[in-house]
Amino acid sequence: MLIFLIEKAKHLSNNWSPIISLQLDLISSIEQLFFFFAAFNIFGKSVETFTGLFIYFLLMLDKSYHISKNFRSKWGKKLLSWYSIHKRDLPWRKKENQNFYRIWISEVMLQQTQVKTVIPYYKKFLKKWPNLESFNKASLNEILQQWQGLGYYQRAKNLFLAKEYLKNNKLFLDPTSLKKIPGIGDYISCSIPAILNDYSCGVVDGNIKRVIKRSFDIDENRKDFNKLVGKIAEELTPKENNRDYCQSLMDLANIICKAKLPECSLCPIKDECRSFVNKIEFKKIKSRKKKYKYGVSFIVKFQEEFLIEQNKKKLLQGLYTFPMTDLLEKKKNQSKKNLFKSLIENWKVEKNLLFDHKDLCFVEHTFSHFYLKLLIVKIELSSKMKFRDLMWIKEKKFDVKPKSILVKKVRERI
């Protein structure tokens, strides 16, 4: 037992001396005093009390995620010195873009979207609306038009709602006030004041979460996982220069501590990382096999006009599209032909449009979670009928409406 304890202590002190020092600081907490007295009463001998405390101490240490001052300062210094050399040159980091509006747009665009995809959209967006005053005049349609192809269209809708909110409410750059703005949650409410005003708050997005999870070897299945990561992030955050600190974590997560496979040998905080020190093996994450979905899009024409609708579904919300069925997976033993047939018939009955149709072609498209095979079907009408939720539009007018890449592909094929 004694040998085990000595070995365990040696291992922990080799790897975690900064954390041990904090544990010793904490011996004065009420919990530990209680333990001390209880152990003393039970054993009555100092040597047994010491052993009890030692075991308790080791158990606490193994589970503990407290950060000592010393650890925090080493962690921060290493990250900042790495950042001073490897900092990414990104448009939203340029001096002229250091204001609320421009940082806000970049942070919204970067949610769920890769940097290289965002850059051209960000530049285009700022060219059209260089500041909040000009953006205030934008309509939802115009914003959606600029957003075409960037995905997650709810973000564009939230930008519209947010600028309407800001017309009537004064802007304060602190997390609590920022969270009242539509579309701004925990992450952006903290990243904006940190980047702009060096505000000290724990910035945590999905990427930073990954770095903390690995560095502290936290089990993702813990019920309190998000809370714990947030607490550690908060404790690690420096009182000064959070501007560079939070961006250094963002860069580290993107350049080195990558989702698929981290490059630990190049990592500036590898000596502080439990996963690295404990030689935890990272298996290359295989990309999840995407499912196939099927749907039908209808080109319903009367002379030079066709029917369109404004999408209400979450996937392409707010964008204009040709009428489309639900996108479904194929059931076991169901042929694609039968699936398309039932989709067409159900839609025609629902719209009371029981005319002959003609199959035109297939369009394939990849969404982030699935592949889509879309059958394009044409129906020519001899008179102009009215439909609930659908509108008639001339081809030229449709071209200036905001639409998704998928609808653009369909448009090119007809």
Instruction: Catalogue the active-site residues.
Output: 107
x-or-dash pattern for ligand SF4, window 117-156, by CB under 6 A?
----------------------------------------
- For residue 412 the two structure tokens come to 């090119």
Nearer to ligand SF4 among residue 183 and residue 262 (C-beta): 262
Nearer to ligand SF4 among residue 215 and residue 242 (C-beta): 215
Q: Please tell me the distance from the alpha carbon of residue 406 to that of residue 386, in angstroms, as a whole number.
A: 26
Tell me the number of residues near ligand SF4 by CB under 6 A: 13
Number of Cα atoms under 13 Å in the Cβ half of residue 351: 23
Nearer to ligand SF4 among residue 108 and residue 249 (C-beta): 249
Minimum distance, C-beta of residue 70 to ligand SF4, in the bound complex (Å): 19
Q: What's the burial of 90, exposed, middle or buried (CB within 10 Å: 0-12/13-18/19+)?
A: middle
Q: Please tell me the distance from the alpha carbon of residue 205 to that of residue 192, in angstroms, as a whole number.
A: 13
Minimum distance, C-beta of residue 261 to ligand SF4, in the bound complex (Å): 9
- State the DSSP code for 125: H
Is residue 386 left, alpha or beta, with left meaning phi > 0 and alpha meaning psi from -120 to 50? beta
Judged by CB under 6 A, the chain residues 259 through 318 that form the site for ligand SF4 are: 262, 264, 267, 269-270, 273, 275-276
Q: What are phi and psi of 384, to 5 degrees?
A: -90, 115
Element of type H or E holding 294: strand 291-302
Residue the block writes with tokens 């908060």: 234
Judged by CB under 6 A, the chain residues 194 through 253 that form the site for ligand SF4 are: 211, 214-215
How remote is the C-alpha of 179 from its chain's centroid? 17
Q: What are phi and psi of 321, to 5 degrees?
A: -150, 160
Nearer to ligand SF4 among residue 215 and residue 325 (C-beta): 215
Nearer to ligand SF4 among residue 91 and residue 230 (C-beta): 230
Which residues, in sequence order, are CB contacts of 290 under 8 Å at separation 6+? 366, 369, 370, 371
Minimum distance, C-beta of residue 400 to ligand SF4, in the bound complex (Å): 47
Nearer to ligand SF4 among residue 253 and residue 377 (C-beta): 253
Residue the block writes with tokens 């309190």: 224
Cβ proximity of 376 and 321 under 8 Å:
no
N- to C-terminal Cα separation, the chain: 78
Return residues touching ligand SF4 (CB under 6 A). Answer: 211, 214-215, 256-257, 262, 264, 267, 269-270, 273, 275-276
